[in-house]
Chain A
Amino acid sequence: MSVENTPATAAPAKARVRRLPPEFNILVVLIGMALMFEALGWIFEGQSFLFNILRLRIMILQVSVIGIIAIGVTQVIITSGIDLSSGSIVGATAMVAASLAQSSDYTHAIYPHLTNLPAIVPMIAGIIVGGLGGMINGGLIAWTGIPPFIATLGTYVSIRGFAKWYTRGNPVSFLTPQFDYIGSGIVPVFIFLICAAIFHVVLGYTRYGKFTYAIGANRQAARVSGINIKRHLLLVYTIAGLLSGLAGIVTAARAQSGQSGMGVGYELQAIAAAVIGGTSLTGGAGRIWGTVFGTLILGVVTSGFTFLNINDYLQEMVLGGIIVGAVIVDQFRQARRAKV
C-alpha cells in the first residue's frame, strides 16, 4: 500500500544522535567511588585500596549473592512490581538444599537415608523451592490483582516462617564437599556473571524481555496489544524466585550450612542494587548491566568503609544516603534528557 499526495508528517527527521547507554553513567560512578577510596586509602591507611587481589575477591564474593537476586528483582521492578520475599526465599532454599546435601559422616542428618547425594539433587530441590515461592508471588499478583508490595510482604513473612519450621529452627550442617564447592573460591562470582549475561540477552533480545518492558511501561497498552499479562507476570515472578533460590543455594554452600536466618535483609539490598543501577520503580526502564554495576557499587562502598575502618553503624547510615542520592541523580539526568 502506498499513500500519495500528502506531505510527510511533522517533525523534521532529526539527525540521529548516538547516545551513550545509560549504564555508562553508573559505571562512571562506580569507577569514581573506587578511585575515591583509592585516594583515601593512600591518605589515611598508606596503602592501595584497589591493588589488593584478596580485598577485591572478598568484595565481589560478598555481593555476588545480592547480585544474583537483583537480576530477578530488576525484571520484577521493570514490570512496575516489587519483590520483598527474595531474602526469605534465600533462607528457605538454603535450608532445603542443605538438608539434601548432608554428608553420611554425620549421624544426625535430617534425612538419614538421603545423605551423600550428588550436589545436583540439593541444587534442583533448592531451585524448585525458589521457583515455587516466586510462582506463589506471581499467581497472587496476576490473578487476585493485589498489589505486588502486599503479596510479597505476605510471602516474605510466610516463607521465612517455612524456613524456620523446616528444622524447627535448627541449623543444618555437615554438607558434602561437592555441595560446598558451589560456594568456594570465586564460583559464586561466576554464577553471578553468567546469570547476568544470560538475562542481559534475555531482556534485551527476546520477546520475553519486550513483554516485560511493555507491561511496566503501560499495562493497558500491553493488554490491547494482545499480551497475556497474567501469564507473563507469573513467569517474571517465577524467574525472580528461581534466581533467589539459586542465591540461597550459594549462600548455604558458602557457609557450609543452612540456617533459617539466612538472607535477612537481602531483598532490600537487591532492590537497592537495581535502583542504583538505573531501574525505574515506575516500571518500563532498567537494564541488567546497570544492576550489575549497582551491585558492585554496593560492594565497593561496603568494603571501602571496612578498609577505612569506619564504624559499621556509620556505614549503614551513609549507605542509605548513597541509595537515595543515586536515585536523585538519576532523576535529574532523566529530567534533563526529557527537555532536550
Chain B
Amino acid sequence: MLSPTTMKAVRESGAVPQASWLMEIEGVCKSFPGVKALDDVSFQLKRGTVHALMGENGAGKSTLMKIIAGIYTPDSGSFKLRGQEIKLVSPLDALENGIAMIHQELNLMAPMTVAENIWIRREPINRFGFVDHGKMHDMTAALFRDLNIDLDPDTTVGSLSIANRQMVEIAKAVSYESDVLIMDEPTSALTDKEVTHLFAIIKTLRAKGKGIVYITHKMNELFEIADEVSVFRDGHYIGTKDAAAVTREDIIRMMVGREITQMFPKDDVPIGEVVLSVKDLSLQGVFSNVSFDLHKGEILGVAGLVGSGRSNVAETLFGVTPATSGTIHIAGREVVMTSPQVALAHGLGFLTEDRKETGCFLMLDVQQNMQVAVLSGEYIRGGFVRQGALTKVCEAMRDALRVKTPNMQERVENLSGGNQQKVLIGRWLLTKPRILILDEPTRGIDVGAKSEIHRMVSQLAGDGVGIIMISSEMPEILGMSDRILVMHEGRATGILNRDEADQVKIMELASH
C-alpha cells in the first residue's frame, strides 16, 4: 500500500499507467451509533464519465462520498485510486490525491470574500511570503471567465444568494483541477438557468477525462447528464446501469423496491373563500406591488428565477421582514404582520428555504425539532409541556413521513439531508395551519418521500388549508398548483390558471 504522499509523487511524475478504473471501491462498511450507514458497498468510476448516484434519503450516498473525500474513515473495505490501493486520512489527503467534493450542505466561510473562499489554503504567495491579493483576484476572475460565472471576486460570500453561493462552491471544486469530482446534490439550490450552466461546466470537465460522481434526486437530470447510474438502498449497493439503457421506472424500482405510480397527485378539491388577500405588498428595494388572493383549499404555486423575490415575499408574509407598504388581509380582516408570532397566531406556517440556516436546530434531537412550533395551546397545561401527548403525535408524524432515524432522540445534525427536510415539514404539519407557505418543500427529497409529501400537501388542501408553494422545479409547480404566480425581479409578472399554464409560458413571464 502506498502512502498518500508517495502516491502524489508518483502521480506528479506521470509514471502511473492509465488504469482502466479511475476509482474502485470494494466492500466498504461504515457504522454510526445506531445506524449501519454502509454495508459491503462497491462502486467504480471510469474516466471521462458522469456517474449518477441515486437512492432514497438516508441510503448512504453522502456517507460513501465523504469516505472518498477523506472526511470519514471507513470501518472496512478497500479503496483503489488509478489502480493503486490507497488510504486517505484527511480531507487534505483526498485533495492532494485529486479528489474534490461539492458537499450537500454549503461549506463556505460567509464573512470572507469569494476569492478567499475559493483559494483558501492555496492562496498565491508573493516572494515576501505574503498573500498576493491582486493575483488572487485575477485568478478568481480568470476562473469565473472560464466557467462563465458573473460574480465579483471581492464580495463577501455572506451577501450572495444561495444559488450564487452554490456557484462559488462549484467554481471552488473545479479550481482544484482534480481527477475525481464529487457533486452531492449540486442543483438542489439552483433554478433551471443555473442548472443548464452547471451542466455545460460538467460536460467540459467530462470531455477532459475527469470522473464525476453526481448525486441527485431529480430523474430528468439523470437522463440529461449521466453516463452511468448506481443505485443504493438502505446502505446496500443495488446495482449499476447504463444511463441510456434504463427507464425512470427501473431506477425507482431499484431505489425503493416498489412501484410508485403517481408523482404529483394534486386532487381536485373544492376551492373555498379567500383566506389570504395581499394587496400591493412591497418591501423597499426588494420587491414591489405584489398582489394576489389565496383561497381555502387552493395551492398557489410561485415560480420565478432565484433572486426574483419569491422567498422575500414569503418572509414578509410571515412577518420576518415586515412590509414597507401594502396590506395583508386574513379571512377578511386586515393584519399588520410585524413578527412571526403574529403570523403564527393567525394560523400561518412557513417552511423556509434554507434548512440549515433557518430551519433545523441542528444540535437538538428529532423530537425537539418537530415540536418546537406547537409549544403552546393544546400541548401546554398549567405552564407545563404535555410531553407524553407531544411525543405521541411527533412519533405518528415521523411514521407518516417515514423519517429515517434510529430514534426520536437522534440529533438532527446526524440525519441525512432529506430526512432533515422531512422533520421540518412535520413541524409545520403539526401546527395544523390555515395558511401554509412552503419554500422549496421537496428540496433534496427522494422520489418516494416526494410523492408522499405531495400527497400530504394535497390532502392538506383538501382539508381546507390555503397553500403557497414556492418551487424551482417546473414539474412540481405545474403538477401541484391550482394557480401559478410568476415573479421576475421583485415584481409579480402574472398569474396563470392550472389549465393555461405550461413551461414556456412560465419561463416567458419569469424572464422578461
User: Could you tell me the distance in whole angstroms from the C-beta of A139 to the nearest C-beta in chain B?
Assistant: 19
User: Could you tell me the distance in whole angstroms from the C-beta of B191 to the nearest C-beta in chain A?
Assistant: 9
Q: Does B12 contact A (CB under 8 A)?
A: no
- For the complex, give the distance between the alpha carbons of A214 and B117 in Å: 8
User: Is B200 a contact of A210 with CB atoms below 8 Å?
Assistant: no
| Residues in A whose Cβ lies below 8 Å from that of B507 | none
| Residues in A whose Cβ lies below 8 Å from that of B133 | 205
Map CB proximity to B onto A185-217 as digits: 1 under 8 Å, 0 otherwise: 000000000000000010001110111011001
User: Which chain B residue shows the least CB distance to A226?
Assistant: B92
| Residues in A whose Cβ lies below 8 Å from that of B402 | none
User: Is B125 a contact of A217 with CB atoms below 8 Å?
Assistant: no
Q: Which of A6-14, A35-43, A108-116 contacts B (4 or more CB under 8 A)?
A: A6-14
User: Could you tell me the distance in whole angstroms from the C-beta of A231 to the nearest C-beta in chain B?
Assistant: 11
Q: Does A3 contact B (CB under 8 A)?
A: yes
User: What's the dominant secondary structure at chain A's contact region?
Assistant: loop
User: Is B130 a contact of A224 with CB atoms below 8 Å?
Assistant: no
> Given B107, B131, B161, B164, which contacts A206 in the complex, CB threshold below 8 Å?
B131
| Residues in B whose Cβ lies below 8 Å from that of A222 | 109, 120
User: Could you tell me the distance in whole angstroms from the C-beta of B160 to the nearest C-beta in chain A?
Assistant: 8
> Given B90, B109, B151, B204, which contacts A226 in the complex, CB threshold below 8 Å?
B90
Q: Does A220 contact B (CB under 8 A)?
A: yes
Mark out the residues of chain B between 157 and 190 whose CB falls within 8 Å of any chain A CB in the assembled complex: 158-161, 163-164, 167
Q: Which of B16-24, B142-150, B393-401 contacts A (4 or more CB under 8 A)?
A: B142-150
Instruction: Count A-side interface residues using an 8 Å CB cutoff.
Output: 39
Q: Does B103 contact A (CB under 8 A)?
A: yes
User: Could you tell me the distance in whole angstroms from the C-beta of A75 to the nearest C-beta in chain B?
Assistant: 15
> Given B107, B148, B208, which contacts A218 in the complex, CB threshold below 8 Å?
B107
| Residues in B whose Cβ lies below 8 Å from that of A9 | 148-151, 163-164, 167, 193-194, 197
Q: Does B244 contact A (CB under 8 A)?
A: no
User: Is B147 a contact of A207 with CB atoms below 8 Å?
Assistant: no
User: Is B112 a contact of A217 with CB atoms below 8 Å?
Assistant: yes
User: Is A201 a contact of B146 with CB atoms below 8 Å?
Assistant: no
Q: Does A284 contact B (CB under 8 A)?
A: yes
Q: Does A1 contact B (CB under 8 A)?
A: yes
User: Could you tell me the distance in whole angstroms from the C-beta of A17 to the nearest C-beta in chain B?
Assistant: 10
- For the complex, give the distance between the alpha carbons of A29 and B342 in Å: 38
Map CB proximity to A onto B90-114 as digits: 1 under 8 Å, 0 otherwise: 1110011000010100011111100
| Residues in A whose Cβ lies below 8 Å from that of B69 | 224
> Given A3, A213, A228, A280, which contacts B204 in the complex, CB threshold below 8 Å?
A3
> Given A11, A218, A285, which contacts B108 in the complex, CB threshold below 8 Å?
A218
User: Which chain A residue shows the least CB distance to B109?
Assistant: A217
Q: Does A5 contact B (CB under 8 A)?
A: yes
User: Is A207 a contact of B123 with CB atoms below 8 Å?
Assistant: yes
> Given A2, A7, A10, A338, which contacts B164 in the complex, CB threshold below 8 Å?
A10
Known: A218-B110, A284-B111. A4 touches B148 (CB 8 A): yes
- For the complex, give the distance between the alpha carbons of A6 and B167 in Å: 14
User: Is B146 a contact of A13 with CB atoms below 8 Å?
Assistant: no
| Residues in A whose Cβ lies below 8 Å from that of B107 | 218, 220-221, 224-225
Q: Does A227 contact B (CB under 8 A)?
A: yes
| Residues in B whose Cβ lies below 8 Å from that of A336 | none
| Residues in B whose Cβ lies below 8 Å from that of A226 | 90-92, 95-96, 121
Known: A206-B130, A220-B107, A226-B95. A284 touches B112 (CB 8 A): yes
User: Is B110 a contact of A217 with CB atoms below 8 Å?
Assistant: yes
Q: Does B129 contact A (CB under 8 A)?
A: yes
User: Could you tell me the distance in whole angstroms from the C-beta of A279 to the nearest C-beta in chain B?
Assistant: 12
Which has the most chain A C-beta neighbours within 10 Å: B71, B107, B111, B112?
B111
Q: Does B497 contact A (CB under 8 A)?
A: no
- For the complex, give the distance between the alpha carbons of A13 and B116 in Å: 19
Q: How many pairs, one residue from A and one from B, have CB atoms within 8 Å of each other in the complex?
A: 137
User: Is A210 a contact of B120 with CB atoms below 8 Å?
Assistant: yes
- For the complex, give the distance between the alpha carbons of A170 and B500 in Å: 91
Known: A2-B204, A213-B109. A225 touches B151 (CB 8 A): no
- For the complex, give the distance between the alpha carbons of A218 and B120 in Å: 12
User: Is A205 a contact of B154 with CB atoms below 8 Å?
Assistant: no
User: Is B148 a contact of A206 with CB atoms below 8 Å?
Assistant: no
User: Which chain A residue shows the least CB distance to B167?
Assistant: A9
| Residues in A whose Cβ lies below 8 Å from that of B95 | 225-226
| Residues in A whose Cβ lies below 8 Å from that of B52 | none
> Given B101, B123, B125, B129, which contacts A224 in the complex, CB threshold below 8 Å?
B101
User: Is A225 a contact of B112 with CB atoms below 8 Å?
Assistant: no
| Residues in A whose Cβ lies below 8 Å from that of B116 | 210, 213-214
| Residues in B whose Cβ lies below 8 Å from that of A285 | 111
| Residues in B whose Cβ lies below 8 Å from that of A10 | 150, 161, 163-164, 167, 193-194, 305-307
Q: Does B196 contact A (CB under 8 A)?
A: yes
Q: Does A168 contact B (CB under 8 A)?
A: no
User: Which chain B residue shows the least CB distance to A7?
Assistant: B193
| Residues in B whose Cβ lies below 8 Å from that of A6 | 148, 196-197, 200
User: Is B92 a contact of A228 with CB atoms below 8 Å?
Assistant: yes
Mark out the residues of chain A between 267 and 297 whose CB falls within 8 Å of any chain B CB in the assembled complex: 280, 284-285
- For the complex, give the distance between the alpha carbons of A209 and B130 in Å: 10
Which has the most chain A C-beta neighbours within 10 Å: B110, B120, B161, B196?
B120
User: Could you tell me the distance in whole angstroms from the C-beta of B158 to the nearest C-beta in chain A?
Assistant: 8
Q: Does A333 contact B (CB under 8 A)?
A: no
User: Could you tell me the distance in whole angstroms from the C-beta of A23 to the nearest C-beta in chain B?
Assistant: 15
User: Could you tell me the distance in whole angstroms from the C-beta of A87 to the nearest C-beta in chain B?
Assistant: 29
User: Is B120 a contact of A225 with CB atoms below 8 Å?
Assistant: yes
User: Could you tell me the distance in whole angstroms from the C-beta of B374 to the nearest C-beta in chain A?
Assistant: 30
User: Is B194 a contact of A16 with CB atoms below 8 Å?
Assistant: no
User: Is A213 a contact of B112 with CB atoms below 8 Å?
Assistant: yes
User: Is A205 a contact of B111 with CB atoms below 8 Å?
Assistant: no
Known: A207-B121, A222-B120. A4 touches B109 (CB 8 A): no
| Residues in A whose Cβ lies below 8 Å from that of B112 | 210, 213-214, 217, 284
User: Is A210 a contact of B149 with CB atoms below 8 Å?
Assistant: no
| Residues in B whose Cβ lies below 8 Å from that of A4 | 148, 200
Q: Does A55 contact B (CB under 8 A)?
A: no
> Given A3, A5, A12, which contacts B147 in the complex, CB threshold below 8 Å?
A3
User: Is B91 a contact of A223 with CB atoms below 8 Å?
Assistant: yes
- For the complex, give the distance between the alpha carbons of A201 and B130 in Å: 9
User: Is A1 a contact of B109 with CB atoms below 8 Å?
Assistant: no
User: Could you tell me the distance in whole angstroms from the C-beta of A251 to the nearest C-beta in chain B?
Assistant: 32
Map CB proximity to A onto B191-210 as digits: 1 under 8 Å, 0 otherwise: 00110110011001100100
Q: Does B463 contact A (CB under 8 A)?
A: no
Knowing that A213-B112, A214-B112, A227-B120 touch, tell me 4 more A-B residue pairs with CB under 8 angstroms. Answer: A4-B200, A14-B152, A214-B120, A218-B109
Chain A residues close to B by CB (< 8 Å): 1-14, 16, 201, 205-207, 209-211, 213-214, 217-218, 220-228, 280, 284-285, 338
Chain B residues close to A by CB (< 8 Å): 69, 71, 90-92, 95-96, 101, 103, 107-112, 116-117, 120-121, 123, 125, 129-131, 133, 146-152, 154-155, 158-161, 163-164, 167, 193-194, 196-197, 200-201, 204-205, 208, 305-307
Query: Can you list 28 A-B contacts with CB-CB less than 8 angstroms, sorted by A residue number?
Result: A2-B146, A3-B147, A3-B201, A9-B148, A9-B163, A9-B197, A10-B150, A10-B161, A10-B305, A10-B306, A10-B307, A11-B160, A11-B307, A13-B150, A205-B131, A206-B129, A210-B123, A210-B131, A218-B109, A224-B69, A224-B107, A225-B91, A225-B120, A226-B90, A226-B91, A226-B92, A227-B92, A227-B121
